[in-house]
Chains A and B, each alone.
Chain A
């Protein structure tokens, strides 16, 4: 299991805490980096704003990206991630409460690796997050990280 952080882009504190708890329950001990909106997510990834000076070569193992976010929304974040050579291969799991088919189609078109609709039943959510974590942390062989320019 790699020890890279997991980036959670989520503005709802309850969901943040529940996600943190779900990961702990699945014994996923990787650091959980939480940012509150799309702009913060991009700042974190590209070392800007309050994350200026951060080593951008230190990428998270995967991103849990909520679609409905303040300022820059999840789909725009996804577009920016896929548009940058440094983050092009970063696994992104789109999390959403919406069951709008359009969101799902757009997410996949923009290159989401996975799309998970947060179920109301928290046990199901736990299962989903746990499986995702396992897959991306344990089973998946990460793409080579491009050197920063």
Chain B
């Protein structure tokens, strides 16, 4: 129903006069606006807007006062009071406004600084990220990450290159798109599951991987489970290193080793055969050379016994010489065979009390030649590791030498000394006998080499060769020092016994 003009023109009992209504209308409208703005500004809690709202309120108030003054309806005194009060309020407001503006300026500066800091941090972080990217792309080994659906979320250039794709073509695709057979797929799943089952575990294994180039290479892969940054979704990170060349080298080394072992076995067999040959040679030397010697000696004796009365003194002398020489040759053969046995005899290692062996040997020599006056000093408690029988032969040979070569000394002196260091015992047998010229030191240890006339000091020249062989077979060393007519020292090393 349309409104009647009458009603619209003003039948309202409380309606103000038209002039007053016209004066108040803009003020009310403005107040409404200000109220809205203040409300909004309070709602959004923005200091700038609050400041603006306050300025608007002041403007409205000023307009209102202007209107009241100009209307001329107000009482002059009350207007003056109101004006004073308003001015005071205005001053307060202005002061408030200044303070707020100051605060706003400060906080805006802080905001700008904060923004700059964040920008700088972001720059640095993106710089770091691109550097990290460069670094992982520089690594020649594969670096990759997949989620638990097998989707590739990270890969470096090395992986992409091997599969003949770009990084963009790789990221976001399933690993199965690149694996070339069911074995590789099964292995990928199995090894992913292993690290997902225990995220503290780094699982490493070797695998054959078929590459885009068509060749299959061997990789050493290590996987570990990770939690991704933005969700609970799991991821597996892996590093694969191409170890094909290393494996090839290892195989070669293994092949070479087994070849070497084979050769060592063959060589050992050859040596064993040679040794057996030598043994049978020694046996036949023993038998075949000694037999005729016994014949020569036997028949010389028969001649002496049966026909001795028909020979003159000189003839008897010759026959005696035949027997002497034959017997000497017999001893040489025996010594040679003994030496060859030393090289073949199996060593039985035990703790050997050398001092005791030395004492016993000295006693034996003294009882054999009680007329000799030889002063001896023997270091006590010398224990070494070795074969007691063979070391007994060493002691016997060296001491008999010392005994023999001091036979022309009045104050004969034989000393057995020893000192241990780092598990090795260094022993020596020293005498003040005939000594020797150091020029011939090496000859001393060669079989049948003698540095003295047999008429002065008898012997076959095999003793020291035997001693050297025994010491060498024990892993030790032996050397001699001497001065003619002053004496000799034979020094040898053996493993100490605890």
User: Could you say which residues of chain B place their CB within 8 Å of the CB of A119?
Assistant: 294, 330
Q: How far is the CA of A21 from the CA of B299 in the complex (A)?
A: 10
| A2 smallest CB distance to B (angstroms) | 27
> Using an 8 Å CB-CB cutoff, how does the interface string of A113-139 with B read, 1 for contact, 0 for none?
000001111110100000000000000
Q: How far is the CA of A97 from the CA of B291 in the complex (A)?
A: 7
**Are A18 and B286 in contact (CB-based, < 8 A)?**
no
**Are A14 and B330 in contact (CB-based, < 8 A)?**
no
Q: How far is the CA of A18 from the CA of B305 in the complex (A)?
A: 13
**Are B330 and A12 in contact (CB-based, < 8 A)?**
no
**Are A121 and B291 in contact (CB-based, < 8 A)?**
no
> Using an 8 Å CB-CB cutoff, how does the interface string of A31-45 with B read, 1 for contact, 0 for none?
000000000000000
Which of A21, A96, A99, A118 is in CB contact (< 8 Å) with B302? A21
* Contact A68 to B287, CB < 8 A, known contacts A99-B337, A120-B293, A120-B330: yes
**Are A15 and B301 in contact (CB-based, < 8 A)?**
no
**Are B327 and A121 in contact (CB-based, < 8 A)?**
yes
Chain B residue at minimum C-beta to C-beta distance from A14: B295
Q: B342 at the A/B interface (Cβ < 8 Å)? A: no
| B99 smallest CB distance to A (angstroms) | 122
Q: How far is the CA of A12 from the CA of B337 in the complex (A)?
A: 22
* Contact A100 to B298, CB < 8 A, known contacts A120-B327, A120-B330, A121-B330: no
> Using an 8 Å CB-CB cutoff, how does the interface string of A59-72 with B read, 1 for contact, 0 for none?
00000000010000
Which of B283, B294, B329, B330 is in CB contact (< 8 Å) with A15? B294
Q: How far is the CA of A22 from the CA of B66 in the complex (A)?
A: 173
| B283 smallest CB distance to A (angstroms) | 6
> Using an 8 Å CB-CB cutoff, how does the interface string of B279-310 with A read, 1 for contact, 0 for none?
00001001100111111011111100100000
| A136 smallest CB distance to B (angstroms) | 22
Chain A residue at minimum C-beta to C-beta distance from B293: A120
How many cross-chain pairs have Cβ atoms below 8 Å apart between A and B? 58
* Contact A123 to B295, CB < 8 A, known contacts A97-B290, A99-B337: no
Q: How far is the CA of A18 from the CA of B302 in the complex (A)?
A: 9
User: Could you say which residues of chain A place their CB within 8 Å of the CB of B334?
Assistant: 99
Q: A98 at the A/B interface (Cβ < 8 Å)? A: yes
User: Could you say which residues of chain A place their CB within 8 Å of the CB of B286?
Assistant: 97-100
**Are B297 and A122 in contact (CB-based, < 8 A)?**
yes
**Are A14 and B299 in contact (CB-based, < 8 A)?**
yes
**Are B298 and A122 in contact (CB-based, < 8 A)?**
yes
| A21 smallest CB distance to B (angstroms) | 6
* Contact A12 to B301, CB < 8 A, known contacts A97-B286, A99-B337, A121-B327: no
Which of A15, A96, A99 is in CB contact (< 8 Å) with B295? A15
Q: A97-B294, A120-B326 are in contact. List 16 more A-B contacts (CB 8 A).
A: A14-B298, A15-B295, A18-B302, A21-B298, A68-B287, A97-B287, A97-B291, A98-B283, A99-B286, A99-B337, A119-B294, A120-B327, A120-B329, A120-B330, A121-B330, A123-B301
Give the interface of B toward A (CB within 8 A).
283, 286-287, 290-295, 297-302, 305, 323, 326-327, 329-330, 334, 337
Give the interface of A toward B (CB within 8 A).
12, 14-15, 18, 21, 25, 68, 96-100, 118-123, 125
User: 21 A-B pairs, CB-CB below 8 angstroms?
Assistant: A12-B291, A12-B295, A14-B298, A15-B295, A18-B299, A21-B302, A25-B305, A97-B286, A97-B290, A98-B283, A99-B337, A100-B286, A118-B290, A118-B291, A119-B294, A120-B290, A120-B294, A120-B326, A120-B329, A120-B330, A122-B300
3 closest residue pairs by CB, A with B: A120-B330, A122-B298, A14-B295
